Copies of this chain bind each other. A is one copy, B any other.
Amino acid sequence: MDRSVIALLYGPDQPGIVAKVAGWIHQHGGNVLHADQHLDRQENIFFQRVEWNPEASRDLRAESDAFADFATNDLGMKVRIALSEDRPKIALMVSKADHCFHDLVLRVKSGEWNAKISGVLSNHEGMRNSAEGYGLEYLFLPFSKGSKKEVEAKQLSWLQEQGVELVILARYMQVLSSDFLDRVGCPVINIHHSFLPSFAGAKPYHQAYQRGVKLIGATAHYVTVDLDEGPIIEQDVTRVSHRHGPKDLIEKGRDLEKLVLSRAVRRHLQNRVLDYGNKTVVFD
C-alpha cells in the first residue's frame, strides 16, 4: 500500500487555496495522489480532501503535523488528518438485532477495512457468545429505571480507556443522552431503518407499511442531540409492493441496513466524510 497522508480541510473560501495547498505539498517533495474539493456557494465554505505521498525520507507524523500547522495558521482552515498506516479503534454498540454486528465484524476480520474493533457494548446478553467467538470483549450493561446516567458513565469510561476513535450504533435501540454525546469525544455513526426524514422515530417499517410506500430505505448518519436529525452520510432504498407485510419489510430492510451502514463506515474510515451544519460532504 501507499504510504500517504490524507487531509480534510474546510473553512471560509478565499482566492488561491487550491494553489497554496498543492504548492505546499510540492515544495515539501510530496506527490499528490488525489485531490477533490467542493465549494458550498450558499455558505461560501470551501472543502478539500487531498491525499499525497510525502518525500520518501520524511516521517509521516512530522509531515502531518507540519501540514496541520500550515493549514490552520496560514490558511485559517479547520483540518483533520489521517495516515495510511492508521488503524482506528472502533466500538460497536448493539441491542438485539445482530445482522449489522456480524456484517461489520466480518469486514474488519477479513481485512476489508483498516481498523480494529475494541469491543462490543450491549444492553442485552444475546450477542455475547458470538462476540466472544470472534475474540471480542463484550461489555453487558443493562438499563433499569433510573440507571441511564450510571450506565452511560460506565460506557464512557470504557470507551475512553480503550481509546476508541469511532462508535458505531449497529441497531442499538437506546437513545444516547446529550451528556453522553458531549463527552464521548469521537464520532458516533447510527443506522436508522428508514429513508429519513420519512418515518423517523420508532417502528419505521410498520409506519412504511401503513403508508403504503413502494420503496423502503435505510439511512446512516452521525448522531447528534436531535434524534434522527444528524448529518446523513449514506442512504439507499429497495423496492417493495403490496405483497410485503411488516415482517417482509423488516427482512428486506436488514440487507439494506447492512449495506448502507457498511458504506458509511467505509467512507468514514477512508477519511472521506466532512460534516458541517446538518450535512455532510462525502468525497468519493
Residues of A that sit less than 8 Å from B by CB: 15-16, 18-19, 22-23, 25-26, 31-42, 47, 98-99, 102, 106, 110, 112, 133, 195-199, 210-215, 217, 231-237, 241-243, 245, 251, 254-255, 259, 262, 278-282, 284
Q: A32 to nearest B CB, angstroms?
A: 5
Provide a sorted-by-A list of 11 A–B residue pairs whose CB atoms are within 8 angstroms: A18-B26, A22-B22, A35-B35, A47-B242, A99-B110, A112-B254, A196-B213, A213-B232, A214-B282, A215-B236, A241-B284
B232–A211 CB distance below 8 A: yes
Q: A15-B26, A196-B198, A198-B198 are in contact. List 5 more A-B contacts (CB 8 A).
A: A99-B106, A195-B195, A210-B278, A211-B232, A255-B262
Most B Cβ at <10 Å: residue of A36, A197, A262: A197
Q: A55 to nearest B CB, angstroms?
A: 10
A211–B31 CB distance below 8 A: no
Select one of B22, B262, B278 contacting A23, CB under 8 A.
Answer: B22
- Contact A281:B242 (CB < 8 A) given known A22-B23, A255-B259: yes
Q: A238 to nearest B CB, angstroms?
A: 10
- Contact A242:B278 (CB < 8 A) given known A26-B16, A215-B195, A259-B255: no
B41–A245 CB distance below 8 A: yes
Q: A41 to nearest B CB, angstroms?
A: 7
Instruction: For the complex, give the distance between the alpha carbons of A251 and B111 in Å.
Output: 11
Closest B residue by C-beta to A260 = B214
B19–A278 CB distance below 8 A: no
- Contact A231:B212 (CB < 8 A) given known A23-B23, A26-B15, A39-B33: yes
Instruction: For the complex, give the distance between the alpha carbons of A36 and B211 in Å.
Output: 23
Q: A215 to nearest B CB, angstroms?
A: 5
Q: A44 to nearest B CB, angstroms?
A: 12
A232–B214 CB distance below 8 A: yes
Closest B residue by C-beta to A15 = B31
Q: What residues of chain B lie closer than 8 Å to A37, measured between beta carbons?
A: 32, 34-35
